[in-house]
């Protein structure tokens, strides 16, 4: 039987090696978070270079999160059983290998497959980091440790766009993946020297293979349906669909999308019932359903999921708008998006001190309120201003909220979780966030794609352009996620529109601005749900504190 190594559970101050290990773990997880955001700014260049369609571009972002969501619960169990440090290092090696494959990609299929390999490595890293921090730092030192951990994570998420813009502008998009190789090597070296090995108590026999398959099918089908809906049709088929030789005819009664939704619902319902059954018969389960009896854990996960949807919706749509509609360079786009980093670094460092006054749940509520205010500001300014630097202002406000919420939400969610369950609890929270990440890209992309189908032809018609050629170019713009605008801007008067090219570019950019507003409103709606959840977390935390006293 394995036993948990709890180094400071008796209240003893963490050693210098413990703090250094925390830094290494935070940087390792920051590398994973960075990879989730660094791709955004480079995506317009990747679309143009590899000839990706809108749905393929969404899969470059979403498949990473889908595979993570599918594997995190299983890898959390593996980390508890075989050692979290061991799995952390193994995950880094796999992640580095996937990064090299992604950098070598010459087409959509290879790039998407490489992203799946990266996600496999990331799934081994994520639960290992958080559960190790939760096991090593206890008592009054725990809040400080999670504050450092959260600040690094929010900072990595905010810096990603700037790094992506710089690497794409001055090198090539391939380097957004190659940069992971030297950083990963440094983290592996640091982990070997500073990170303690911890394990969980294995109290129940068996491997929950059925649960792993059901969760993977459910999450995968849900994201597939949202991403492919605009192209394949939400109910009636718009076009045929081929998947590994299986053909879905365009003449079928329904498109694959409602079928995928139905499979997702059935698989996820069966998954929950199966996990309850595994717990009842005292067999090892991927999801410890008893953890959701802890109100701080259940409400906290709902909040984390909603926040992730809103956050990654923004990260997906804004780079497309800035580069394609406003015509910014990749580095300029990265600088604008890095405005989030200004707020995130500042508030992340201040979060612990603010939490000492108003409590961690109160800090999360304040953070989400600022995030929501920032997104509303973005919606307004995208509609009335074409200045990218004006758009950066609400991003600073959003970053302030991101730093506060990220730094304190994790510790609040896990505050009532027993140490021996920290691995699975951490994996569950990470899974929820990754589901939110995938759905954020999917929902924002779907909202943008659906709106573009109407806003682009309408904008062209208002500018005096109609007919088959205008409709054809509008559809090409939608399919390319706006990259056709950038191409037309470069061609200028030598394009098929001749001297009217600038007028067409302006009309298409206006249509894309409208679609961006709708996608941002979608993000705002999920942040509102997250704010409601955060209020419930605060109430649950206060009730828990009252009971313990």
pLDDT in tens, 224-237: 887 777 778 888 88
Q: For 340-360, what is each residue's pLDDT tens digit?
A: 877 777 776 677 778 778 888
Statement: residue 8 has pLDDT above 60: no
Higher pLDDT residue, 348 or 479? 479
Buried b (16+ CB within 10 A) or exposed e, 487-506: ebbeeeeebebeeebeebbb
pLDDT over threshold 80, residue 281: yes
Would the pLDDT of 192 be above 80? yes
Q: Is 253 helix (H, G, I), strand (E, B) or coil?
A: coil
Per the model's pLDDT, the better-predicted residue between 82 and 100 turns out to be 100
For residue 474, give every residue at least 6 positions away whose Cβ sits within 8 Å of its Cβ, in sequence order, or none: 452, 456, 457, 460, 508, 511
pLDDT at 200: 64
Span of 137-141, 173-177, 278-282, 443-447 with lowest mean pLDDT = 137-141
Average pLDDT over residues 63-77: 74
In degrees, rounded to 5, the angle at the alpha carbon of residue 357 between the alpha carbons of residues 356 and 361 is: 75
Quick check: 96 pLDDT over 90? yes
For the chain, the residue count is 549
* Mean pLDDT comparison of 33-47, 89-103, 310-324, 325-339, highest-scoring range: 89-103
Take residue 239 and report the two structure tokens written for it. Answer: 């076009």
For residues 48-57, give the mean pLDDT. Answer: 80
| Res 189 pLDDT > 90 | yes
Residues 255-284 have a mean pLDDT of 88
> Residue 317 above 70 pLDDT?
yes
Q: From the CB of residue 239, how many other CB atoms can be counted at a distance below 10 Å?
A: 11
- DSSP assignment of 427-472: HHHHHHHHHHHHHHHHHHHHHHHHHHHHHHHHHHHHTT--SHHHHH
Mean pLDDT value of segment 300-329: 85
Residue entry with tokens 């990266």: 118
pLDDT of residue 504: 86
How sure is the predictor about 438, in pLDDT bands with cuts at 50, 70 and 90? confident
Residue 269 pLDDT grade (very low, low, confident, very high; cuts 50, 70, 90): very high
From 112, 91, 89, 90, select the one nearest 102 (Cα to Cα).
112
Asked whether the predicted pLDDT for residue 496 surpasses 80, the reply is: no
241-243 vs 246-248, strand pairing mode: antiparallel
* 1 pLDDT more than 70: no
pLDDT for position 7: 42
Residue 2 is predicted with a pLDDT of 37
d(CA 473, CA 457): 9
Q: Which domains does the chain have, with CATH numbers?
A: 16-198+284-453+514-544 (1.20.1250.20), 208-283 (no CATH)
Q: Tokens 């619902």 sit at which residue?
A: 265
Residue 121 to residues 94, 98, 209, 215, Cα–Cα distance (Å): 5, 8, 19, 18
Give pLDDT, residue 225.
83
CB 21 within 8 A of CB 195: yes
Residues 92-100: what's their mean pLDDT? 95
Q: What is the pLDDT of residue 369?
A: 94
pTM for the model: 0.76
């Amino acid at each position: 039987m394995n036993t948990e190594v709890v180094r400071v559970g008796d209240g003893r101050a963490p050693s210098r090696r413990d703090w250094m290990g925390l830094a290494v773990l935070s940087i390792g997880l920051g590398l994973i978070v960075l990879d989730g955001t660094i791709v955004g700014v480079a995506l317009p260049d990747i679309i143009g270079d590899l000839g990706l369609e809108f749905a393929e571009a969404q899969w470059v972002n979403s498949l990473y999160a889908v595979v993570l969501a599918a594997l995190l619960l299983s890898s959390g169990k593996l980390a508890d059983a075989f050692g979290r440090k061991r799995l952390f290092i193994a995950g880094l090696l796999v992640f580095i290998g996937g990064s090299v494959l992604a950098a070598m990609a010459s087409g959509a299929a290879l790039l998407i497959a490489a992203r799946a390999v990266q996600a496999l490595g990331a799934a081994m890293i994520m639960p290992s980091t958080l559960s190790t921090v939760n096991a090593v730092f206890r008592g009054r030192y725990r809040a400080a440790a999670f504050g450092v951990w959260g600040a690094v994570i929010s900072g990595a998420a905010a810096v990603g766009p700037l790094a992506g813009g710089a690497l794409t502008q001055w090198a090539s998009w391939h380097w957004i993946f190659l940069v992971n190789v030297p950083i990963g090597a440094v983290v592996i070296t640091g982990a070997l020297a500073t990170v303690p090995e911890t394990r969980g108590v294995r109290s129940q026999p068996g491997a929950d293979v059925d649960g792993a398959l059901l969760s993977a099918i459910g999450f995968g089908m849900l994201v597939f349906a949202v991403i492919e809906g605009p192209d394949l049709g939400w109910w009636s088929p718009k076009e045929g669909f081929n998947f590994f030789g299986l053909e879905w005819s365009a003449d079928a009664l329904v498109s694959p999308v409602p079928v995928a939704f139905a499979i997702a619902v059935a698989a996820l319902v069966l998954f929950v019932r199966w996990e309850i059954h595994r717990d009842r018969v005292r067999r090892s389960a991927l999801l410890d359903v008893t953890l959701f009896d802890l109100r701080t854990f259940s409400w906290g996960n709902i909040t984390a999921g909603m926040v992730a949807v809103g956050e990654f919706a923004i990260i997906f749509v804004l780079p497309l708008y800035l580069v394609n509609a406003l015509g910014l360079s990749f580095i300029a786009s990265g600088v604008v998006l890095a405005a989030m980093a200004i707020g995130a670094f500042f508030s992340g460092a201040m979060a612990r001190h603010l939490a000492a006054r108003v409590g961690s749940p109160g800090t999360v509520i304040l953070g989400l309120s600022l995030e929501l205010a920032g997104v509303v500001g973005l919606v307004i300014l995208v509609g009335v201003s074409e200045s990218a630097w004006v758009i950066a202002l609400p991003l600073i406000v959003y970053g302030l909220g991101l730093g506060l919420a990220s730094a304190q939400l994790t510790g609040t969610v896990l505050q009532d979780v027993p140490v021996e369950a920290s691995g699975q609890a951490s994996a569950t929270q990470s899974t929820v966030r990754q589901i939110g990440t995938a759905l954020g890209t999917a929902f924002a992309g779907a909202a943008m794609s659906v709106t573009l189908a109407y806003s682009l032809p309408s904008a062209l018609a208002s500018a005096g352009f109609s007919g088959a050629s205008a409709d054809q170019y509008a559809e090409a713009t939608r399919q390319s996620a706006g990259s056709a605008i950038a191409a037309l801007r470069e061609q200028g008067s030598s394009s098929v529109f001749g001297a009217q090219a600038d007028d067409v570019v302006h009309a298409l950019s206006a249509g894309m601005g409208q679609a961006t507003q709708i996608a941002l409103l979608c993000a705002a709606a999920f942040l509102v749900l997250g704010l409601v959840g955060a209020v419930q977390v605060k109430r649950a935390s206060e009730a828990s504190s009252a009971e313990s006293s």
